[in-house]
Structure 1
Amino acid sequence: FLGSLRLILSAFWLLALCTSLGLLLSWSSNRLLHWLSFPTYTRVHTEWAKELAFPAVTICNNNPIRLYKLTKSDLYFAGHWLGLLLANRTVRPIVLDLLQEDRQTWFKKLSDFKLFLPPRNFEGTNLEFMDRLSHQLDDMLLSCKYRGEPCGAHNFSSVFTRYGKCYMFNAAEEGKTLRTTMKGGTGNGLEIMLDIQQDEYLPVWGDSEDTAFEAGVRVQIHSQAEPPFVHELGFGVAPGFQTFVATQEQRLTYLPPPWGECEAKALGFFHVYSVTACRIDCETRYIVENCNCRMVHMPGDASYCTPEQYKDCAEPALAKLSAVENSNCMCRTPCNMTRYNKELSMVKIPSKTSARYLQKKFNKSEKYITDNILVLDVFFEALNYETIEQKKAYEVAGLLGDIGGQMGLFIGASILTILELFDYAYEVSLNSRPHLFLTRTFSGVHGSSCSSAAGIKGARKRKREIRAS
């Protein structure tokens, strides 16, 4: 009976041990697989600040080239690219239809190349061409205030984008500190009044049979570390309206692989990584490789594309790059970035009273003011910023804690218990080996002693025999 009971108990404890070990391995492997999936969570937090750095504000006129600033040489070389002339340098019929009668006469005379002796090559570079013929801020900027204090065109920096020559307020420049603000709300940011000079707009653009539908400016609010990408990330501001832009700063932090997909490595043309910097870097390399030149908004030291190269190579190549998925232009999210949320609202201007005032001040008609004047007001909604952080949801410490808890639950063990088992096994093996060693050593020593004693006795006996003889 006792033997059967002992057998049953042994089987029970063996089953309990195997079950506990199985559950331990199952749950531990589950936790290990969860850790290997590199889970994350997002932490959103709003923080208040005594002052905030004002963002960079990039402004571009929707019209890249002023029609009535073109010279005969400009039209000869760039007319086909601008969509004003056909390939044989004759006027496109639609252009004359879109111009007023007095302007038609001027353009016919400008486009008459019968007695014109053109230069051998395109004069200057396309950068100089765009710089000279674009809308100048000195002409567009009618009024400028920052935090109620006057500002001017000298507070803006020139920057070239797909829209041509644009202007950036509060750019990061060596030797200059960034402008800050210590209050939120209207009047505590940038307020500018612009004349978009709509009478100078090109009647058509490129090969399109349509006119340029948009009149106004394109605006992007961005970090100083990020180059402008106005044609994709900008918003429109229309003439005849005052547009209020309430913004809030967001500071985003993402994790690198394997937890996330962010990138922090600087690019060849930019010191700080961003998605827009990556896009521009990729586009630049693609255009230089395929056309052996670069567009005016692209960095680097390659020569600028001529109007003919723009028309025949650069613009088609850039359109092809944007239309197809290109593995070389897969740009990851930066590990650290600053972006600005925006809320837009607008009111119609001018009022009847202000219309008379503006007519006298700028010597313009009310219709011209309605068609060309706009006011842009950019400010922080409140003096706070939002942090959005991607964090590791399960780290090594959590994994070890879970496995340790399951060891205690299922087998009543801990790290110390396992160490004690190893120590016990080591001591058992150590104690068994010296016993065998000592036994063999003792036997060897005893045997050698006996042999030595016998040898000595034999030597003495032989010595006595020699003396007796």
Structure 2
Amino acid sequence: MVVLQVEPWNGATPSAPDDHDKTHEMFGFQDLASDYYQVIRQKARPSWCRFVWGIVILILMIFTGFMVYQLLADYFQYKSFVESHISWEKNLTLPAITICNTNPLNYTRLKEGLTNGNDTRLLREFENLMDEYVKSSSKPDGNLNISFEDFADFNSWEHEEGSLVLKFRPSLYHMLFGEYDYVFRGIGNFVDHTDWSKFSQMTELGVCFELNDDGSLKQSSGGMKGGLAVDLDANVDHYLFTTKSKGFVIFIRDQDETIMLNRGGYMVSPGSETFLKLTQNTHTRLGKPHGTCENIPSQFSKYNHHYETVRECTQRQRMEAMLDMCHCIPWYLAERLFTLNKTDVLDAYSERLQQDKRDGGRERRQTRDSPDIPPTDEVVQSTSTSAWATSEPIFKTHYSQLTCGFVEMYICDKKLDTAVMNGDITFEPCHEPCEYHEWNVEIASTLFPPSEEYFERFLKDQVYTIETPTYEFIRDNMARVHIYYDELKVMNKVQTKAYEPQNFIAEFGGTVDLFIGFSFFTVFQLIEISFAWCLAKLWQRRKNLNQIEDNSNNTKSANSANRSVV
């Protein structure tokens, strides 16, 4: 504590300017907050004693400064740690599931459609593209030595008729086996094949099956019997010959998350029974400066309140790179945005392409004319007279002129992968949202059906209602997938600050008080004393000025008197 010989304000007010100077009394106080400084200022102490105490005080000051520096350095590193705890639930919502066939289109229907329409030249042109694509896969650099101009006729035809993938898409309804499309808790759930758009998702892999997007499936008992099972038909006989692997890719995602690229899925092969055992994690992250989370509204989700995940961020950057490299909007992105009525995003992409054209940017594709199109929602009627013309909306609007078809996407995607591999294109690091769900997946697989006897007894008369399949057909095409929580628990992971402001204040105060007896009370005393000292100096200066003025007046009076006498 501060011990004053007199109060700082005592006798130091402007109302008493004639009082004698008490500045020395005002600051004749003992030393701040502790007594250690007195030992070196008291004349009565031996000089050697004051010298020793001076060394001790200097060491304490240096040590305190070092500790305060370390304390500040730790605090401004904005460290954090993750707290984890498990909560047990009565029921858990299963994740949304996207199931894609690795085959993007029905090659059998494609050949039949082009052959019946006397378009064998277009079929040869398409097959030449696919052959070149296969050859490029064996090259060390993976480069695709073809351009858009090589397939101008096919591209023009595709944009007149509609998306190749949508026109000759694999049937989602036929991708599912049996009388019921999937089984949840032992109850068959029927998907109406006449309204496939409710269960479809446009992705890089084509049109995929979308399940539990509304979060209606909730598991109330642990184990495989409490979850869902899906029997899938690969339809291998209709595969495009460039498809490298047969089977399915299964994406586990949040209900709000959109999947459009072939990234982060689980491969399921025909002839297998696969078990996906889930564990749900909820994450709560900190933003800057303690963390890197960032809430960016998703451009692709059907829900406006959804924030972009790392996977969606990767998708967005790849789409933007495609806009710059190929100067067109990927067909699945345009279809997705148009279906969700996100025409504002489509308009922004269209304006970006038009601006690039006006600025004389990158080389544009020469497959067709791309006039400047105003961003309106006017729908243009299809002029196609083909009996199998598509009725998909995106190719009946002005956006079709700026949308990449299937052939263009094959070329563009290959060139983009090559540019990324060569380091010509780099993507910015993506930040996770501040709150999100994810699922850890343990995957196990076994042969299915395990034997021909099992097929005869349990599958032969059950998986199909129209015709009976053979054992070989089932082994080549069928995959059974189980998705379930083994335990109804959630792992909550919360990122918290390692150093809260109150912790910093407490440690700072403890450090300086321990070594030099400093506290907030001392701070306020120093402020008061500093203000009093400044005020005392001001009063002293005014007093000196008044004295100078009085002396000047006295001198003038004396001079006047002397002149009068003379």
Choose from 10, 35, 39 the match for 2:50: 10
**Equivalent position of 1:223 in the other structure:** 254
Tell me if structure 2 keeps the 8 A contact 1:126–1:304.
no
- The aligned runs of 1:228-377 (5 Å cut-off) are 228=259, 231-269=262-300, 271=304, 272-299=307-334, 301=346, 302=399, 303-321=402-420, 324=423, 326-350=425-449, 351=451, 352-361=453-462, 362=464, 363-377=468-482
Report the secondary structure of 1:389's partner residue: strand
Displacement of 1:410 in angstroms is 0.6
Displacement of 1:306 in angstroms is 3.0
The CA deviation string for residues 166-217 of structure 1, in whole angstroms up to 9 with x for no partner, is 1110114xxxx63322222112222111221111122x21xxxxxx442221
Tell me if structure 1 keeps the 8 A contact 2:260–2:333.
no
1:170 aligns with 2:212: yes
Distance 2:90 2:161 in 1: 45
**Equivalent position of 1:183 in the other structure:** 221
**Equivalent position of 1:456 in the other structure:** none
Displacement of 1:337 in angstroms is 2.4
Q: Which amino acid aligns with 1:171?
A: D
Q: Which amino acid aligns with 1:223?
A: D
Tell me if structure 2 keeps the 8 A contact 1:145–1:151.
yes
Contiguous gaps of at least 5 residues in structure 1 = 93-117, 206-211, 449-469
Report the secondary structure of 2:404's partner residue: coil
Q: Which amino acid aligns with 1:23?
A: F
Report the secondary structure of 1:421's partner residue: helix
**Equivalent position of 1:60 in the other structure:** 100
The CA deviation string for residues 42-67 of structure 1, in whole angstroms up to 9 with x for no partner, is 21221112222210111011211222
Displacement of 1:236 in angstroms is 1.3
Displacement of 1:427 in angstroms is 3.5
Distance 2:310 2:483 in 1: 24
| Percent sequence identity over aligned pairs | 22
Tell me if structure 1 keeps the 8 A contact 2:175–2:234.
yes
**Equivalent position of 2:69 in the other structure:** 29
**Equivalent position of 1:138 in the other structure:** 173
Larger radius of gyration: 1
Displacement of 1:424 in angstroms is 3.2
Displacement of 1:411 in angstroms is 0.8
Contiguous gaps of at least 5 residues in structure 2 = 1-41, 136-152, 338-345, 347-398, 554-566
Tell me if structure 2 keeps the 8 A contact 1:241–1:347.
yes
Tell me if structure 1 keeps the 8 A contact 2:277–2:486.
yes
Q: Return closer, same or farther for 1:310/1:437 CA change in 2, 3 Å cut-off.
A: closer
Distance 2:229 2:204 in 1: 25
The CA deviation string for residues 309-335 of structure 1, in whole angstroms up to 9 with x for no partner, is 335445323542465374444323333
**Equivalent position of 1:453 in the other structure:** none
Report the secondary structure of 1:136's partner residue: coil
Q: Return closer, same or farther for 1:325/1:396 CA change in 2, 3 Å cut-off.
A: farther
- The aligned runs of 1:64-213 (5 Å cut-off) are 64-70=104-110, 71-72=113-114, 76-77=121-122, 80-81=125-126, 121-124=156-159, 128-142=163-177, 143=180, 144-154=182-192, 157-172=199-214, 178-202=216-240, 204-205=241-242, 212-213=243-244
Q: Which amino acid aligns with 1:64?
A: P
Distance 2:448 2:404 in 1: 41
The CA deviation string for residues 93-133 of structure 1, in whole angstroms up to 9 with x for no partner, is xxxxxxxxxxxxxxxxxxxxxxxxx9994145786421232
Displacement of 1:377 in angstroms is 0.9
Q: Which amino acid aligns with 2:169?
A: S
**Equivalent position of 1:378 in the other structure:** 483
Report the secondary structure of 2:46's partner residue: helix
Distance 1:311 1:440 in 2: 91
Distance 1:317 1:283 in 2: 9
Q: Which amino acid aligns with 1:232?
A: R
Distance 2:123 2:84 in 1: 51
Distance 2:100 2:427 in 1: 29
**Equivalent position of 2:354 in the other structure:** none
Q: Which amino acid aligns with 2:486?
A: E
Report the secondary structure of 1:214's partner residue: coil
**Equivalent position of 1:392 in the other structure:** 497
Distance 1:127 1:322 in 2: 32
The farther-off stretch of 74-83 and 366-375 is 74-83
Distance 1:161 1:24 in 2: 62
Distance 1:292 1:443 in 2: 85
Distance 2:68 2:49 in 1: 28
Q: Return closer, same or farther for 1:85/1:246 CA change in 2, 3 Å cut-off.
A: closer
Q: Which amino acid aligns with 2:485?
A: F
Tell me if structure 2 keeps the 8 A contact 1:189–1:379.
yes
Distance 1:159 1:79 in 2: 30
Distance 1:21 1:390 in 2: 37
Tell me if structure 1 keeps the 8 A contact 2:75–2:504.
yes
The CA deviation string for residues 291-314 of structure 1, in whole angstroms up to 9 with x for no partner, is 222223324535321344335445
Displacement of 1:368 in angstroms is 0.9
Distance 1:307 1:254 in 2: 39
The farther-off stretch of 224-233 and 421-430 is 421-430
RMSD: 3.5
Q: Which amino acid aligns with 2:226?
A: N
The CA deviation string for residues 210-234 of structure 1, in whole angstroms up to 9 with x for no partner, is xx44222111111122222562211
TM-score using structure 1 length:
0.77
TM-score using structure 2 length:
0.64
The farther-off stretch of 222-231 and 308-317 is 308-317
Displacement of 1:31 in angstroms is 0.7
Q: Return closer, same or farther for 1:439/1:251 CA change in 2, 3 Å cut-off.
A: same
Report the secondary structure of 1:310's partner residue: helix
Displacement of 1:4 in angstroms is 8.6
Q: Return closer, same or farther for 1:230/1:123 CA change in 2, 3 Å cut-off.
A: closer
Report the secondary structure of 1:231's partner residue: coil
